[in-house]
Every structure is written in structure tokens, then in C-alpha cells.
Amino acid sequence: EIVMTQTPLSLSVTPGQPASISCKSSQSLLHRNGKTYLYWYVQKSGQSPQLLIYEVSNRFSGVPAKISGSGSGTDFTLRISRVEAEDVGLYYCMQSIQFPLTFGGGTKVEIK
């Protein structure tokens, strides 16, 4: 199975400052059809995970522009340009190029 490795495990950020989360996959997530099957979710306290980003860099409906995704192949990054209290939560990357679908271990974002 494809192993998804996220770093750091946790991040404490001053409000208004940027945050960056890395996700590395053990195999390339680029399919021969040109799509890269890498997705980002956030799970806020007491809630279910919510989709943030699909196919590396496309924001899902309602996701603010301060959240962005980038990367290719096996290395990906989620960025929050200015962290606010509403951004606190657990962030997960996920791959769906191959069964079983697998998630990263999660990155906890907190406010300082």
C-alpha cells in the first residue's frame, strides 16, 4: 500500500502567521491520465473531516483562498497564508490512485 507521511506532527502558530504542512507519498500519485490523486482534509474538534483541496491544488466549494495546495509526484504541501482561530484542527492528506486508499497520520494545527 502507499504510505503517506505527514510532517510536522503538530504546529503551533501565531495568529496571522503562515503555516505549512508537508505530505510525502511512498509512490507517485500521478496517473497516466494526467491527474494527481492527492487530497487534503481538515477535522475540527468534534466534527467529521471536511474536504479542503482536491487533485493537489483545487479548493473545494467554500474553502477560503488563504488555503492552498501545491506539489507533484510524491511531495505535496498545504499552506495556510494567515492562520486564525477557525483554522485549528487536524489536517490529513489522502491518496486515491491505488487501493487501499490511505491517509497521512495527521498534523495538528494550534494557535499560540
Beta strands in the chain (DSSP E): 4-7, 10-13, 19-25, 38-43, 50-54, 58-59, 67-72, 75-80, 89-95, 102-103, 107-111
- Contact call for residue 100 and another protein (CB under 8 A): yes
Closest CA relative to residue 40, chosen from 110, 92, 97, 112: 92
Q: Which is nearer to another protein, 82 or 104 (CB)?
A: 104
Q: Do residues 84 and 17 make contact, with C-beta atoms less than 8 angstroms apart?
A: no
- Contact call for residue 62 and another protein (CB under 8 A): no
- Contact call for residue 108 and another protein (CB under 8 A): no
- Contact call for residue 11 and another protein (CB under 8 A): no
Stretch that binds another protein, among 11-19, 32-40, 68-76, 78-86 (CB under 8 A): 32-40
Among 30, 68, 103, 111, binds another protein (CB under 8 A): 103
Q: Residues interacting with another protein, by CB under 8 A?
A: 1, 33, 37, 39, 41, 47-51, 54-55, 60, 92, 94, 96-97, 99-106
